[in-house]
Amino acid sequence: MKTRKLGDGLEVSAIGLGCMGMGQVYGTALDKADAFKVLARAVDLGVTFFDTAEVYGPYLNEELVGEGLKPFRDKVVIATKFGFDIAPEGEAQGFARVRGTDSRPEHIRAVVEASLKRLGVEVIDLLYQHRVDPNVPIEDVAGTVKDLIAEGKVKHFGLSEAGPETIRKAHAVQPVAALQSEYSLWFRDLEKDTLPVLRELGIGLVPYSPLGRGFLTGAIKPDAPLGDNDFRRALPRFQGEAMAKNLSLVEALTAIAADKGVTPAQLALAWILHQGADIAPIPGTTKIARLEENVGAVDVTLSADDLARIAAAVPETAVEGERYTPAGLAMVGR
Protein backbone atom coordinates (compact mmCIF):
# COMPACT_ATOMS: atom_id res chain seq x y z
CA MET A 1 0.00 0.00 0.00
CA LYS A 2 1.25 3.44 -0.91
CA THR A 3 1.10 6.16 1.73
CA ARG A 4 0.33 9.85 1.85
CA LYS A 5 1.35 12.57 4.30
CA LEU A 6 -1.31 14.93 5.59
CA GLY A 7 -0.45 18.31 7.05
CA ASP A 8 2.15 18.30 9.79
CA GLY A 9 3.46 14.78 9.18
CA LEU A 10 0.47 12.50 9.65
CA GLU A 11 1.23 9.47 7.47
CA VAL A 12 -1.72 7.38 6.29
CA SER A 13 -2.49 4.83 3.61
CA ALA A 14 -3.28 6.38 0.23
CA ILE A 15 -6.78 4.94 0.53
CA GLY A 16 -8.52 4.77 3.88
CA LEU A 17 -11.78 3.21 5.00
CA GLY A 18 -14.84 5.24 5.92
CA CYS A 19 -16.72 3.24 8.53
CA MET A 20 -20.02 5.14 8.73
CA GLY A 21 -21.80 2.66 6.48
CA MET A 22 -21.22 -0.20 8.89
CA GLY A 23 -24.17 1.18 10.84
CA GLN A 24 -27.74 1.62 9.61
CA VAL A 25 -27.14 4.61 7.36
CA TYR A 26 -27.55 2.60 4.16
CA GLY A 27 -30.13 0.19 5.54
CA THR A 28 -29.46 -2.76 7.81
CA ALA A 29 -26.43 -2.47 10.09
CA LEU A 30 -23.55 -4.85 9.42
CA ASP A 31 -23.26 -7.75 11.84
CA LYS A 32 -20.41 -7.12 14.28
CA ALA A 33 -18.50 -10.25 13.30
CA ASP A 34 -18.75 -9.32 9.63
CA ALA A 35 -17.65 -5.75 10.38
CA PHE A 36 -14.59 -7.07 12.19
CA LYS A 37 -13.72 -9.20 9.15
CA VAL A 38 -13.87 -6.14 6.90
CA LEU A 39 -11.68 -4.14 9.28
CA ALA A 40 -9.14 -6.96 9.58
CA ARG A 41 -9.02 -7.49 5.82
CA ALA A 42 -8.46 -3.75 5.35
CA VAL A 43 -5.44 -3.88 7.65
CA ASP A 44 -4.21 -6.97 5.81
CA LEU A 45 -4.40 -5.02 2.54
CA GLY A 46 -2.31 -2.21 4.00
CA VAL A 47 -5.07 0.23 4.93
CA THR A 48 -3.99 2.20 7.99
CA PHE A 49 -6.52 5.06 7.95
CA PHE A 50 -9.98 4.50 9.48
CA ASP A 51 -12.73 7.09 9.89
CA THR A 52 -15.58 7.18 12.38
CA ALA A 53 -17.52 9.78 14.45
CA GLU A 54 -19.56 10.00 17.62
CA VAL A 55 -22.66 10.86 15.60
CA TYR A 56 -22.53 7.62 13.58
CA GLY A 57 -25.05 5.49 15.41
CA PRO A 58 -24.89 7.72 17.40
CA TYR A 59 -21.94 6.38 19.39
CA LEU A 60 -22.18 2.73 18.27
CA ASN A 61 -19.81 3.15 15.33
CA GLU A 62 -16.95 4.33 17.51
CA GLU A 63 -17.39 1.28 19.73
CA LEU A 64 -17.44 -1.02 16.72
CA VAL A 65 -14.35 0.51 15.12
CA GLY A 66 -12.45 0.65 18.38
CA GLU A 67 -13.13 -2.98 19.23
CA GLY A 68 -12.51 -4.22 15.70
CA LEU A 69 -9.18 -2.43 15.39
CA LYS A 70 -7.93 -3.18 18.89
CA PRO A 71 -5.65 -6.02 17.71
CA PHE A 72 -4.03 -3.63 15.22
CA ARG A 73 -3.86 -0.46 17.29
CA ASP A 74 -0.14 0.06 16.73
CA LYS A 75 -0.61 -0.15 12.94
CA VAL A 76 -3.55 2.16 12.34
CA VAL A 77 -4.65 5.79 12.44
CA ILE A 78 -8.17 6.30 13.78
CA ALA A 79 -9.99 9.55 13.07
CA THR A 80 -13.15 10.64 14.84
CA LYS A 81 -15.17 13.83 15.16
CA PHE A 82 -16.97 16.22 17.50
CA GLY A 83 -19.31 19.10 16.86
CA PHE A 84 -22.94 18.02 17.05
CA ASP A 85 -25.64 18.41 19.68
CA ILE A 86 -27.01 14.86 19.92
CA ALA A 87 -30.38 14.30 21.55
CA PRO A 88 -30.80 11.63 24.24
CA GLU A 89 -31.54 8.10 23.13
CA GLY A 90 -35.21 7.55 22.44
CA GLU A 91 -35.94 11.08 21.21
CA ALA A 92 -35.20 10.07 17.62
CA GLN A 93 -33.02 7.61 15.73
CA GLY A 94 -29.79 7.91 13.74
CA PHE A 95 -29.02 11.31 12.27
CA ALA A 96 -32.50 12.45 13.30
CA ARG A 97 -31.06 12.79 16.80
CA VAL A 98 -28.83 15.68 15.70
CA ARG A 99 -30.35 18.90 17.01
CA GLY A 100 -27.67 21.21 15.66
CA THR A 101 -23.99 22.02 16.05
CA ASP A 102 -22.14 22.32 19.35
CA SER A 103 -18.44 23.13 19.46
CA ARG A 104 -18.33 24.87 22.81
CA PRO A 105 -14.97 24.12 24.47
CA GLU A 106 -16.58 22.25 27.36
CA HIS A 107 -18.56 20.13 24.92
CA ILE A 108 -15.45 19.31 22.87
CA ARG A 109 -13.72 18.10 26.02
CA ALA A 110 -16.70 15.96 27.04
CA VAL A 111 -16.90 14.40 23.58
CA VAL A 112 -13.18 13.62 23.53
CA GLU A 113 -13.33 11.88 26.90
CA ALA A 114 -16.32 9.82 25.74
CA SER A 115 -14.74 9.00 22.38
CA LEU A 116 -11.52 7.83 24.04
CA LYS A 117 -13.53 5.36 26.11
CA ARG A 118 -15.67 4.13 23.23
CA LEU A 119 -12.66 3.66 20.96
CA GLY A 120 -10.67 2.06 23.76
CA VAL A 121 -7.60 4.18 23.05
CA GLU A 122 -5.37 6.50 25.04
CA VAL A 123 -5.10 9.13 22.33
CA ILE A 124 -7.15 10.12 19.29
CA ASP A 125 -4.94 10.17 16.21
CA LEU A 126 -6.96 12.72 14.23
CA LEU A 127 -9.79 14.77 15.71
CA TYR A 128 -12.05 16.66 13.33
CA GLN A 129 -14.61 19.35 13.98
CA HIS A 130 -17.47 17.61 12.14
CA ARG A 131 -19.21 20.80 11.05
CA VAL A 132 -18.41 24.47 11.62
CA ASP A 133 -20.41 25.90 14.52
CA PRO A 134 -21.61 29.43 13.70
CA ASN A 135 -22.08 30.14 17.39
CA VAL A 136 -18.50 29.41 18.48
CA PRO A 137 -15.45 31.28 17.14
CA ILE A 138 -13.22 28.84 15.29
CA GLU A 139 -10.27 30.26 17.23
CA ASP A 140 -11.85 28.92 20.43
CA VAL A 141 -12.35 25.53 18.83
CA ALA A 142 -8.76 25.35 17.59
CA GLY A 143 -7.48 26.57 20.96
CA THR A 144 -9.35 23.83 22.78
CA VAL A 145 -7.96 21.14 20.49
CA LYS A 146 -4.50 22.67 20.91
CA ASP A 147 -4.83 22.20 24.67
CA LEU A 148 -6.00 18.62 24.18
CA ILE A 149 -2.96 17.94 22.02
CA ALA A 150 -0.71 19.39 24.72
CA GLU A 151 -2.42 17.10 27.24
CA GLY A 152 -1.69 14.04 25.10
CA LYS A 153 -5.32 13.19 24.37
CA VAL A 154 -5.21 14.12 20.67
CA LYS A 155 -2.41 13.95 18.09
CA HIS A 156 -3.70 15.91 15.09
CA PHE A 157 -6.44 18.47 14.40
CA GLY A 158 -8.78 18.40 11.44
CA LEU A 159 -11.77 20.27 10.05
CA SER A 160 -14.70 19.02 7.99
CA GLU A 161 -16.66 20.97 5.37
CA ALA A 162 -14.93 24.21 6.38
CA GLY A 163 -14.33 27.09 3.98
CA PRO A 164 -11.11 29.00 3.28
CA GLU A 165 -11.60 31.75 5.87
CA THR A 166 -12.40 29.28 8.64
CA ILE A 167 -9.42 27.12 7.69
CA ARG A 168 -7.05 30.07 7.83
CA LYS A 169 -8.30 31.23 11.24
CA ALA A 170 -8.10 27.75 12.75
CA HIS A 171 -4.68 27.02 11.29
CA ALA A 172 -3.28 30.22 12.78
CA VAL A 173 -4.11 28.90 16.27
CA GLN A 174 -3.40 25.18 15.84
CA PRO A 175 -1.97 23.65 12.64
CA VAL A 176 -4.65 21.75 10.77
CA ALA A 177 -3.50 18.38 9.46
CA ALA A 178 -6.45 17.67 7.18
CA LEU A 179 -9.73 18.91 5.84
CA GLN A 180 -12.35 16.23 5.35
CA SER A 181 -14.91 17.27 2.77
CA GLU A 182 -16.92 15.71 0.01
CA TYR A 183 -14.87 15.52 -3.16
CA SER A 184 -15.33 13.31 -6.19
CA LEU A 185 -15.91 13.43 -9.91
CA TRP A 186 -19.44 14.61 -9.27
CA PHE A 187 -18.65 17.22 -6.60
CA ARG A 188 -15.62 19.41 -7.26
CA ASP A 189 -16.46 22.73 -5.59
CA LEU A 190 -13.28 22.58 -3.51
CA GLU A 191 -11.05 23.06 -6.52
CA LYS A 192 -11.78 26.75 -6.98
CA ASP A 193 -11.20 28.31 -3.55
CA THR A 194 -10.53 25.69 -0.89
CA LEU A 195 -7.91 23.36 -2.39
CA PRO A 196 -5.52 26.25 -3.20
CA VAL A 197 -5.68 27.37 0.44
CA LEU A 198 -5.00 23.85 1.68
CA ARG A 199 -1.91 23.66 -0.49
CA GLU A 200 -0.74 27.12 0.52
CA LEU A 201 -0.92 26.11 4.19
CA GLY A 202 0.28 22.52 3.77
CA ILE A 203 -2.99 20.89 4.80
CA GLY A 204 -4.07 17.51 3.44
CA LEU A 205 -7.46 16.69 1.94
CA VAL A 206 -9.48 13.64 2.98
CA PRO A 207 -12.37 13.21 0.54
CA TYR A 208 -15.45 11.50 1.90
CA SER A 209 -18.00 10.01 -0.49
CA PRO A 210 -15.28 9.77 -3.17
CA LEU A 211 -17.54 7.40 -5.09
CA GLY A 212 -20.59 9.67 -4.93
CA ARG A 213 -22.19 7.57 -2.18
CA GLY A 214 -21.85 4.53 -4.39
CA PHE A 215 -23.26 6.14 -7.51
CA LEU A 216 -19.96 6.16 -9.38
CA THR A 217 -19.43 2.43 -8.87
CA GLY A 218 -22.12 1.58 -11.41
CA ALA A 219 -23.85 -0.63 -8.84
CA ILE A 220 -26.94 1.58 -8.55
CA LYS A 221 -29.51 0.73 -11.20
CA PRO A 222 -33.00 2.07 -11.98
CA ASP A 223 -34.42 -1.45 -11.67
CA ALA A 224 -32.77 -2.01 -8.27
CA PRO A 225 -34.28 0.58 -5.90
CA LEU A 226 -32.56 1.57 -2.69
CA GLY A 227 -33.80 0.03 0.54
CA ASP A 228 -36.50 1.75 2.55
CA ASN A 229 -34.01 2.64 5.31
CA ASP A 230 -31.30 3.87 2.95
CA PHE A 231 -30.75 7.59 3.61
CA ARG A 232 -29.81 8.14 -0.05
CA ARG A 233 -33.47 7.83 -0.99
CA ALA A 234 -33.93 11.38 0.35
CA LEU A 235 -31.02 12.88 -1.58
CA PRO A 236 -31.98 14.87 -4.71
CA ARG A 237 -29.31 13.23 -6.89
CA PHE A 238 -30.85 9.80 -6.31
CA GLN A 239 -34.38 10.75 -7.28
CA GLY A 240 -36.42 10.60 -10.49
CA GLU A 241 -35.13 12.46 -13.51
CA ALA A 242 -31.96 13.48 -11.69
CA MET A 243 -31.02 9.85 -11.13
CA ALA A 244 -31.73 8.97 -14.76
CA LYS A 245 -29.49 11.79 -15.99
CA ASN A 246 -26.72 10.97 -13.53
CA LEU A 247 -26.77 7.32 -14.56
CA SER A 248 -25.80 8.39 -18.07
CA LEU A 249 -22.62 9.91 -16.63
CA VAL A 250 -21.80 6.64 -14.93
CA GLU A 251 -22.27 4.84 -18.23
CA ALA A 252 -19.64 7.11 -19.79
CA LEU A 253 -17.28 6.46 -16.87
CA THR A 254 -17.87 2.72 -17.19
CA ALA A 255 -16.88 2.80 -20.85
CA ILE A 256 -13.55 4.47 -20.04
CA ALA A 257 -12.94 2.00 -17.20
CA ALA A 258 -13.50 -0.89 -19.57
CA ASP A 259 -10.89 0.53 -21.96
CA LYS A 260 -8.43 0.71 -19.05
CA GLY A 261 -9.25 -2.77 -17.80
CA VAL A 262 -10.44 -1.51 -14.41
CA THR A 263 -13.78 -1.03 -12.68
CA PRO A 264 -15.65 2.31 -12.58
CA ALA A 265 -14.95 2.57 -8.85
CA GLN A 266 -11.23 2.06 -9.37
CA LEU A 267 -11.20 4.65 -12.13
CA ALA A 268 -13.04 7.22 -9.99
CA LEU A 269 -10.70 6.66 -7.04
CA ALA A 270 -7.61 6.71 -9.24
CA TRP A 271 -8.79 10.05 -10.63
CA ILE A 272 -8.88 11.46 -7.09
CA LEU A 273 -5.47 10.04 -6.21
CA HIS A 274 -4.03 11.70 -9.31
CA GLN A 275 -5.24 15.13 -8.15
CA GLY A 276 -2.33 15.38 -5.71
CA ALA A 277 -0.10 13.50 -3.27
CA ASP A 278 -1.74 15.36 -0.39
CA ILE A 279 -5.12 13.66 -0.91
CA ALA A 280 -6.24 10.44 0.81
CA PRO A 281 -9.84 9.39 0.06
CA ILE A 282 -11.86 7.26 2.48
CA PRO A 283 -14.38 5.21 0.49
CA GLY A 284 -16.72 3.25 2.70
CA THR A 285 -17.89 -0.31 2.18
CA THR A 286 -19.28 -3.26 4.10
CA LYS A 287 -18.13 -5.87 1.59
CA ILE A 288 -14.65 -7.39 1.42
CA ALA A 289 -14.82 -7.73 -2.36
CA ARG A 290 -15.56 -4.00 -2.71
CA LEU A 291 -12.79 -3.20 -0.24
CA GLU A 292 -10.30 -5.17 -2.32
CA GLU A 293 -11.57 -3.46 -5.46
CA ASN A 294 -11.17 0.01 -3.94
CA VAL A 295 -7.67 -0.67 -2.69
CA GLY A 296 -6.71 -1.78 -6.19
CA ALA A 297 -7.14 1.82 -7.33
CA VAL A 298 -3.72 2.74 -5.89
CA ASP A 299 -2.07 0.78 -8.70
CA VAL A 300 -4.05 2.39 -11.53
CA THR A 301 -1.94 4.80 -13.57
CA LEU A 302 -3.69 7.53 -15.54
CA SER A 303 -2.09 9.60 -18.27
CA ALA A 304 -2.88 13.25 -18.92
CA ASP A 305 -5.10 12.09 -21.77
CA ASP A 306 -6.90 9.66 -19.47
CA LEU A 307 -7.56 12.41 -16.93
CA ALA A 308 -8.87 14.76 -19.59
CA ARG A 309 -11.14 12.07 -21.00
CA ILE A 310 -12.55 11.28 -17.55
CA ALA A 311 -13.17 14.94 -16.75
CA ALA A 312 -14.93 15.40 -20.08
CA ALA A 313 -17.09 12.31 -19.58
CA VAL A 314 -18.21 13.35 -16.09
CA PRO A 315 -18.22 17.15 -15.97
CA GLU A 316 -19.51 18.42 -12.64
CA THR A 317 -21.79 20.86 -14.43
CA ALA A 318 -23.67 17.89 -15.89
CA VAL A 319 -24.53 16.37 -12.52
CA GLU A 320 -28.22 16.81 -11.76
CA GLY A 321 -29.57 17.64 -8.29
CA GLU A 322 -28.12 18.91 -5.03
CA ARG A 323 -25.92 16.61 -2.97
CA TYR A 324 -28.06 17.11 0.17
CA THR A 325 -31.58 18.06 1.11
CA PRO A 326 -32.07 21.75 2.04
CA ALA A 327 -31.64 20.88 5.73
CA GLY A 328 -28.46 19.00 4.97
CA LEU A 329 -27.09 21.83 2.87
CA ALA A 330 -27.66 24.21 5.77
CA MET A 331 -25.40 22.00 7.91
CA VAL A 332 -22.52 22.18 5.42
CA GLY A 333 -22.73 25.87 4.66
CA ARG A 334 -19.32 27.46 4.51
105 upstream amide cis, omega within 30 of 0: no
pLDDT value of position 316: 81
Q: What is the mean pLDDT of each run of 10 residues along the chain (334 residues)?
A: 95 97 74 96 98 94 97 98 93 83 98 98 98 98 98 98 98 98 93 97 97 84 65 72 81 94 97 97 96 98 96 83 68 52
Say what the pTM is: 0.93
* Per-domain boundaries in the chain: 3-331
CA-to-CA dists, residue 127 to 11, 84, 109, 154, 174, angstroms: 15, 14, 12, 7, 12
> May I ask the CATH architecture of the domain 3-331?
Alpha-Beta Barrel (3.20)
Ramachandran quadrant class, 52 (left: phi over 0; alpha: psi -120 to 50; beta: rest)? beta
Residue 12 and residue 275: Cα distance in Å, rounded? 17
pLDDT value of position 54: 96
**Closest listed residue to residue 246, CA positions, set 172, 314, 162, 145:** 314
Positions marked active-site: 56
